[in-house]
Amino acid sequence: MQLLNFGEAVAIGRRSPEKLFRILDMYDALDDVLPDLEIMMTDEFGVCEARGVLGALGDAARGTFCEFENAVQNEASRKPMLSGEIHPLARYVMNYVRLLVDYSKTLNFLLEDADDDGFTNDDAENGLELENVSPIARRLLLLITTLESNLDEKSKLYEDGAMRYIFLMNNILYIVQKVKDSELGKLLGDRWVRKRRGQVRQYATSYLRASWSKTLSCLKDEGIGGSSSNASKVALKERFKSFNACFEDIYRIQTAWKVPDSQLREELRISISEKVIPAYRSFMGRFGSQLEGGRHAGKYIKYTPDDLENYLLDLFEGTPCVIHHLRRKST
């Protein structure tokens, strides 16, 4: 009875997410020995007490799980990650969820009749056929969807639109990797993973548009006047100056941004290179000869395409680089 009293005290104690795993351990332990306890106990009162404590622990587990869901939904920190990196909330929730999967059998029983009002018709479009999955998979989908919504709100704290997409890419990819590399992947399935990877690709496209459109506009023919042989030198100088200023500004800012995943980091650099380097090489090929050889040509044509390619390798390392010393390395 003293042992059961301890279980009852835990069940009625203050609920916090950190306690859930120990409560589930106690529930499983009592559930395993309950048949033996019922044989040992000579009176009906003791049997009812044991069953009552088991039920109370189950209620505590359900309630604590709900507390965790609410905590994720209501976490409202307003301080953006300086480098656009993975948010602590994402790390905490995904590590917590991965531990929960070890208790799937127990949670499927405890959550079997739980209310699913949190789901909408759109949730099936998130990559999961809800009617075909277990109770714990349904609740974890809702939990991760809530986390994604919270992260999307946090992304709006960034004034720089490009950094917002870096933050979203980092965090959604982190969630995908945590799901894919654990038992969560079996619960949520390949379709869910593919949907999120598609989101990361969309964010990458949005980043390129937000970050590099102004720089690329400096390399267009419009507004220069005349053909490549008689374009305005004044206009050409302004274009090269504008391009240099835009590129150097991006370099200064985005070397401080952090993309922890090496594959995503490399893919972003390649995507940038595929847009910027050919456009710069083509612009130089058409108009560079009109400035080269003139006075202060190096002031305007500061970089070769290879220079730019090398500087792109410094982006997203999380180490701000000083660029005031940058000058054209070769001619």
3-state SS, 134-157, equals CHHHHHHHHHHHHHHHHHHHHHCC
- What CATH number matches the domain at 219-313, 2.160.10.10, 3.40.50.2300, 3.40.50.620, 1.20.1280.170? 1.20.1280.170
Per-residue model confidence as pLDDT tens digits over 19-64: 999 999 999 999 999 998 888 877 787 788 889 999 999 999 999 9
Place of tokens 């976490």: 75
The closest of 203, 202, 204, 199 to 126, measured between CA atoms, is 199
- At 87 the pLDDT is 96
Which residues, other chains included, contact 59 with Cβ-Cβ below 8 Å and sequence gap of 6+? Answer: 11
pLDDT (mean) for 133-146: 92
Measured distance CA(179)–CA(203) in Å, rounded: 19
Average pLDDT over all residues of the chain = 88
- At 295 the pLDDT is 63
Q: Where are the domains of the chain?
A: 1-206, 219-313
Measured distance CA(124)–CA(155) in Å, rounded: 24
Write down how long the chain is: 331
Domain 1-206 belongs to what topology?
Monooxygenase (1.20.1280)
CB atoms within 10 A of CB 32: 9
Lowest mean pLDDT among 101-105, 168-172, 327-331: 327-331
The closest of 51, 26, 25 to 38, measured between CA atoms, is 51
The closest of 21, 26, 25 to 6, measured between CA atoms, is 26
Most confident of 74-88, 125-139, 247-261, 314-328: 247-261
Between 18 and 46, where is the model more confident? Answer: 18
Task: Please report which residue ranges of 160-289 form alpha helices under DSSP H.
Answer: 161-180, 184-217, 233-254, 262-287
The two counts, helices (H) then strands (E), for the chain are 12, 0
Read off the tokens for 12.
């009625």
What DSSP assignment string belongs to 223-248?
TS-S-TTT--HHHHHHHHHHHHHHHH
Compute CA distances 82 → 9, 152, 169, 203, 260, whole Å. 43, 16, 15, 19, 14
Read off the tokens for 8.
């009852």
Collapsing DSSP to helix, strand or coil, 1 comes out as: coil
Measured distance CA(100)–CA(145) in Å, rounded: 16
- Angle subtended at Cα 214 by Cα 229 and Cα 231, rounded to the nearest 5 degrees: 10
State yes or no: pLDDT of 137 exceeds 60. yes
Read off the tokens for 26.
């106690």
Measured distance CA(128)–CA(131) in Å, rounded: 9
